[in-house]
Amino acid sequence: MSSETAPLPHLDHTGVALNADARFRHVFAEGFDPILLTDYRGRILDGNRQALNFFGIDRRSFPQINIRDLHHPAEPLPDVNKLTGPGSMSFQSRVVAGRIHEGRPRQVTLNVEVRARRLTPGREGTWQWIYHDISSRVELDALREDLIAMLLHDLQSPLGNVISTLELLRMQVDGAQPDEMMLSLLDIASRSSGQLQRLIASLMDINRLEAGQPVGRQSAVPLAQLVAEAYDIEEPSFTRRGVGLESRVPAALPDLFVEPAVISRVLLNLFDNALKYSADGETITVDAHTIGDGMVLVAVSDRGAGIPREFREVIFDKFRRVKSDGSSKGLGLGLAFCRLAVEAHGGRIWVDDAPGGGARFNLTLPQA
């Protein structure tokens, strides 16, 4: 394998000139990342020294190699020809590279970040492909996810013991002379433990759903029942703030076909989010109706300040929050969980303006 970088070709296989300036030649030759040039069909025209070493290929083999041959079969390339004129696109992929291990050639699969850029306009143009090895980062992310999953799993047992102990203490206090202070403290401890238990369950569900695993056992359940269950958990917060919940779910609404515990937590997160941005004494409403295709549209509305348009997509990402009055509570996981849970049921979730002001979170769920 030659370690020298050949000059950029002046003509590609179709005779289109590559008028690269001196600055481009320098970046191409001396850049840290592997760089390949291809024609519009993906045939490799040239590559820098880093590309030859990274992929374990020889420059003489370029005419026989297509850029797709370097990528893992399970990682199809996006259609870069959809870009009109000069432009670029970035994406993650996996490539198959040649390596020498103990004196013997072998192939390894590497995770990469790719930036594809059109160098010349027109359909029959020339493309530049810049590769950046992110294998170490992907492995670190996987280790972190495994550690988080293990910690969450190990937290469940001691937390369950705490909740059981609080229930036993509550039974002891109820059977003796009523102690209002003790009852109040036990209520606070029980609510906090329950909140932590639901947070752990949501985090575990996020990991499970992000990994592409399906939802659990689905069954037919009335939406009104799920709304009532979520409200029962959040009722102390509603009462403390003087906020009311108006459920306008039709009695004749078909049952949902969902995993009840998951969708109940979705509603709970939406109630909690609505409470954060509602003024004391306001009302949160729940509406629902069928929309065809076997789906039910559910809407949770508040009368707060609403969600600015520029945040209506990113608020469903993990750890993203919309700050109000300079502060925002929570970890930014509730809406991320809602999106994953709803999409795992074949539905979608989005936010728009509520009638009369405020935010309205809309979600579609399958009916039984």
Strand 126-133 versus strand 219-221 pairing type: unpaired
Mean pLDDT of 223-232: 92
| Higher per-residue pLDDT: 181 or 45 | 45
The answer to whether the 22-133 and 219-366 domains have the same CATH topology is no
Q: What is the pLDDT of residues 63-89, one digit of tens each?
A: 888 998 899 988 877 776 665 555 678
- Rounded Cα distance, 358 and 63, in Å: 60
How confident is the model at residue 249, as a pLDDT?
Answer: 93
CATH number for the domain whose boundaries are 22-133? 3.30.450.20
Report phi then psi at 203, rounded to 5.
-65, -40
For 203, the token pair is: 């985090």
Taking all residues of the chain, what is their mean pLDDT, rounded to a whole number? 81
How confident is the model at residue 29, as a pLDDT?
Answer: 63
CATH C-level class of 219-366: alpha beta
Mean pLDDT of 28-50: 84
How confident is the model at residue 5, as a pLDDT?
Answer: 44
How confident is the model at residue 78, as a pLDDT?
Answer: 75
- Rounded Cα distance, 26 and 150, in Å: 48
- For the cut 50, the answer to whether the pLDDT of residue 1 exceeds it is no
- For the cut 90, the answer to whether the pLDDT of residue 107 exceeds it is no
Per DSSP, 314 falls in state G
Task: Give one DSSP letter per residue of 193-233, joined into a string.
Answer: HHHHHHHHHHHHHHHHHHTTPPP---EEE-HHHHHHHHHHH
For 253, the token pair is: 């609404």
Q: What is the pLDDT of residues 331-354, one digit of tens each?
A: 567 888 899 889 989 999 999 998
How confident is the model at residue 126, as a pLDDT?
Answer: 84
Residue written as token pair 């000069």 = 86
Q: What is the pLDDT of residues 167-222, one digit of tens each?
A: 888 787 776 676 778 777 887 888 788 778 777 777 777 777 777 777 778 999 99
Closest CA to 315 of 364, 269, 280: 269
Per domain, the residue ranges of the chain are 22-133, 139-210, 219-366
Binned at pLDDT 50, 70 and 90, residue 24 comes out as low
| Higher per-residue pLDDT: 358 or 208 | 358
- For the cut 70, the answer to whether the pLDDT of residue 9 exceeds it is no
Helix (H, G, I), strand (E, B) or coil at 149: helix
- pLDDT cut 70: percent of the chain above it: 83
Mean pLDDT of 88-111: 82
What end-to-end distance do the CA atoms of the chain give, in Å?
63
Binned at pLDDT 50, 70 and 90, residue 10 comes out as very low
Binned at pLDDT 50, 70 and 90, residue 20 comes out as very low
Closest CA to 296 of 230, 336, 338, 345: 345
- pLDDT cut 90: percent of the chain above it: 25
Beta strands in the chain (DSSP E): 35-39, 44-47, 88-101, 104-118, 126-133, 219-221, 244-248, 256-258, 283-292, 295-301, 349-353, 359-366
- For the cut 80, the answer to whether the pLDDT of residue 293 exceeds it is yes
Range in 136-150, 221-235, 263-277, 341-355 the model is least confident about: 136-150
How confident is the model at residue 266, as a pLDDT?
Answer: 92
